[in-house]
Every structure is written in structure tokens, then in C-alpha cells.
Amino acid sequence: MAAGYWMAGKSQESATFELFVRRLPPRRDFLVVCGLSQAIDYLTELRFERREIDYLKSLGQFTNAPKGFWDYLAEFRFSGDVFAVPEGTVMFAREPLMRLRAPLIEGQIPETYLLSTLGFQTVIASKAARILKAAGGRDVVEFGSRRAHAPEAGCLAGRAAYVAGCVGTSNVEAGIRFAVPVFGTSAHSWVLSFASEMEAFRKLQELLGERSVQLIDTYDTIEGARHAIEAGQPLWGVRLDSGDLMKLSREVRALLDAAGMQAVKIMATNDLDEDTIAALVSGGAPIDVFGVGTSLATSFDAPAVSAVYKLVEIEGRHASKRSEGKQTLPGAKQVYRFADRDVVGLHGENVGGEPLLKQVVASGQAIVDEKNLTRIREYARGQIAVYGSARKVELSASLSALAAS
């Protein structure tokens, strides 16, 4: 398409694209937008390397593409403006999360990358918000890297889960790249590698001291709890990873308390998801920390949202597709937030409320690029607390009229 725009003499036409989610997946009332920082990095750093251009030239699809196009790609820079909602903003279906105004060719090229980058982290942050709600204030750690969709996704899932309010991740790369707090416990192979569970527990304490978390279910959870108690302090907590977590957490808590170890915490893992966590919490299971893996790092019950990226204006002309069941709204839009509802209106329209999309890139330069995850997370938690439930989204009268025209 880029080559086609170039050949048709349209590449520099002024275009506006918007990224939005068509509809929320089942059981999702809202989205926690995440991934903007990676999207900005991509737009401001996007270049075509010689080897990439050579590859494209080698394809039959580009037989008719003229030399000028390849020269253009070699010099490509994104020079447009980008408006977006800050990371951590709670948003809803049909609301633009990002808007790009750029020469047509520059607005088109980033489509897939932006959708994947913003879409994936938004999926994970939104899922994390649901799991945290189920956990009712107890700590949740993201533990799913091993099931993530390749290692890069594991790292970004750790980031997104933290933004939404998890206390951290087991993904060390997320710690290095994004300063997400990292947590972990020993695995069964640690216990199995020693001749006895007792020896394994004592050696862990030599390394980790008061941060030790003993995994007590390798052979038998109750026996494991007794061994952890016998190994004694220092001990931060014990971890349950199999069996009836309600029953076992109560029994283990009683054993710990009887041994005077009231301060020792209980962590639970084992394919937990929002429903199992909600049942444990409402049943009063004495679990202090949930480690959540697959269901969080893949958003197992809804691993994608219907995020799309659509042309809404070209050379001042409004554009919208009319495809059956997939109509889009024309025009450069803004989302105006009121206490009780959101209104999707036109950019610059005066309908009151707080405009949510803010300019983050001007003429290809990042002008807002929040990298501090602690601040992003603080903002996200506030957003989820205030707006994290189903919400009425209306179209402004002007937008409705335009869409009907």
C-alpha cells in the first residue's frame, strides 16, 4: 500500500488514522490502555534498513515499484502528530485510543505494529485489573512468562500487569528494561535436586534469608509445612502450588500460627484465574499473595481485543467504511469524559467534559513520553478505582450527524 500511495502520487496527502477497539470481549467492562511508550518509541525510531529494502525489492509484489519509492523508504522518518490517551487510562469500546495525523504513507506503515503493541499490553492490563478485583486487595504477582507468546511477550506482560496494579512480575527482563519489581520463588526442581526437603529449605534460607519462600507441595503439602516450620526463621512465606488451596491454606495457616509464625505469609499458585481467586477470597482462604501465570500473561479467556486502525480523514475529506457490521465513524475524534458518561465527539468540538486524547508526538518528535512506570501505575490505579466499570458512551450530536451523512 505504501508503494501504491507513492506511485499514485498520494503519499504526502494529509491523513488521519484512529486506533480503537470495536467491542469489549465477554466479561470485560472496560479497557486499561497500555503500551503507549513502546508505540512512541517505534514511531520515533522507525527506519528501513538496507537489508529490509533489499528483501522487499526481491518480492514479486514490487516488480512495478519505481526507484523513487525505494529511495523514499531509505530516508523514511515518521514526521506526523500523534494524540493518545495516557497509559493507564480506562477506556471503552469505539473510543479512539490513539489518533495519528501524518502524510498518508507515514500513517499507513505503522498500522500493524501499533495494533500489536498497544493491543497486547492493553489486553494484559485489562485482564490484570479483573484479577486484582477478584483478589480484593491481596497482592498479585505476574508469574506467566513461561506460557507467554514468546519471550518478548512475557516481558511486556510483566510490564502491563504491573501498570494495572500487580505488585510485580517474575520476568527479570521486565525488571531490567522497565524497573518492574521482580519476584520469584524456588521451583520443584530446587527441592527435587536435594536429597531431602529439609536440606532444600535450609539451603534456600542461606541464600535468601528473610526473603525465603518455601515451596511446600513437592511431596506432601502438610508435611512440607512442617518442614518449613522446622527449618524456621528467617522465612518470608510458604507457597502452595497444588491440591485444594482453600483447605490447605487453612491447615497450613493453623500450623504456622501454632508455631508462633503468624508473620509468615502464604502464597498460592496453580493455574489461578479470576474465578478461582474470587472463590478463595470470598471463602476466607488465608492466602496473602496470589501468583498468577497463564491466565494473566496470555489473557487466556480473551487473548485479543478487536483493536483496529482506520482512516478517518484524507485531505480534509471524511472517510468511513460501510462494510456490513463493521461500519466506522468518520472524522478526527476526541473523547470527552464526564462524571457519568463519555462522549465521543469531533476533535476540537466544544461539548464540555475532559478531553482524554493528548498530543504526545509533534512533527515526529516525542513531546510527552512518560517512562516512569511508578507514575503510570499510580495513574492507572486511580483510573481503575474511579472508572473501572461499565460506562455509557455516547456520540456527540455533530459526530452523529456526520456519521449519518
Closest CA to 31 of 126, 114, 117: 126
Binding mask 236-265 for a copy of itself (x = CB under 8 A): -----xxx----------------------
Q: At its nearest, how many Å lie between a copy of itself and the CB of residue 352? A: 31
Q: At its nearest, how many Å lie between a copy of itself and the CB of residue 115? A: 4
d(CA 211, CA 88) in angstroms, rounded, equals 30
Read off φ and ψ for residue 393, nearest 5 degrees.
-120, 120
d(CA 198, CA 179) in angstroms, rounded, equals 34
Q: At its nearest, how many Å lie between a copy of itself and the CB of residue 163? A: 15
Q: Examine residue 405 and tell whether it contacts a copy of itself (CB under 8 A).
A: no
User: Interface with a copy of itself by CB under 8 A: which range of 74-82, 202-210, 331-339, 396-404?
Assistant: 202-210
Task: Give the amino acid at 146.
Answer: R
Q: At its nearest, how many Å lie between a copy of itself and the CB of residue 367? A: 24
Q: Which is nearer to a copy of itself, 86 or 119 (CB)?
A: 119
Positions 96 through 125 that interact with a copy of itself (CB under 8 A): 104, 108, 111-113, 115-117, 119-121, 123
Q: Examine residue 349 and tell whether it contacts a copy of itself (CB under 8 A).
A: no
Contacts by residues 343-347 (CB-CB < 8 Å, ≥ 24 positions apart): 343/393, 343/394, 343/395, 343/396, 344/94, 344/95, 344/96, 344/393, 344/394, 344/395, 344/396, 344/399, 345/395, 345/396, 345/398, 345/399, 346/396, 346/398, 346/399, 346/402, 347/83, 347/99
Q: Are strands 237-240 and 213-215 parallel, antiparallel or unpaired?
A: parallel
Q: Examine residue 7 and tell whether it contacts a copy of itself (CB under 8 A).
A: yes
DSSP line for 200-228: HHHHHHHHHGGG-EEE--SS-HHHHHHHH
Q: Which is nearer to a copy of itself, 71 or 257 (CB)?
A: 71
Q: At its nearest, how many Å lie between a copy of itself and the CB of residue 351? A: 26
Torsion of CA 102, 104, 109, 111, to 10 degrees: 70
Q: At its nearest, how many Å lie between a copy of itself and the CB of residue 255? A: 17
Q: Examine residue 57 and tell whether it contacts a copy of itself (CB under 8 A).
A: no
Cα→Cα distances 176→20, 85, 156, Å: 31, 26, 12
**Cβ atoms < 10 Å from Cβ of 230:** 12
User: Interface with a copy of itself by CB under 8 A: which range of 169-177, 278-286, 338-346, 372-380?
Assistant: 169-177
- List 95, 106, 142, 217, residue binding a copy of itself (CB under 8 A): 217
Q: Examine residue 74 and tell whether it contacts a copy of itself (CB under 8 A).
A: no
User: Interface with a copy of itself by CB under 8 A: which range of 59-67, 126-134, 335-343, 373-381?
Assistant: 59-67
Q: Examine residue 404 and tell whether it contacts a copy of itself (CB under 8 A).
A: no
Positions 296 through 335 that interact with a copy of itself (CB under 8 A): 298-300, 303-304, 306-307, 309-311, 314, 317, 319-326
- List 67, 75, 207, 348, residue binding a copy of itself (CB under 8 A): 207
Residues 6+ apart with CB under 8 A from 188: 215, 218, 241
User: Interface with a copy of itself by CB under 8 A: which range of 49-57, 73-81, 128-136, 365-373?
Assistant: 49-57
Q: Examine residue 348 and tell whether it contacts a copy of itself (CB under 8 A).
A: no
Q: Examine residue 154 and tell whether it contacts a copy of itself (CB under 8 A).
A: yes
Q: Examine residue 364 and tell whether it contacts a copy of itself (CB under 8 A).
A: no
Q: Examine residue 52 and tell whether it contacts a copy of itself (CB under 8 A).
A: yes
Placement of cell 499473595 in the chain: 289
Read off φ and ψ for residue 48, nearest 5 degrees.
-105, 120
Residue 241 grid cell: 502450588
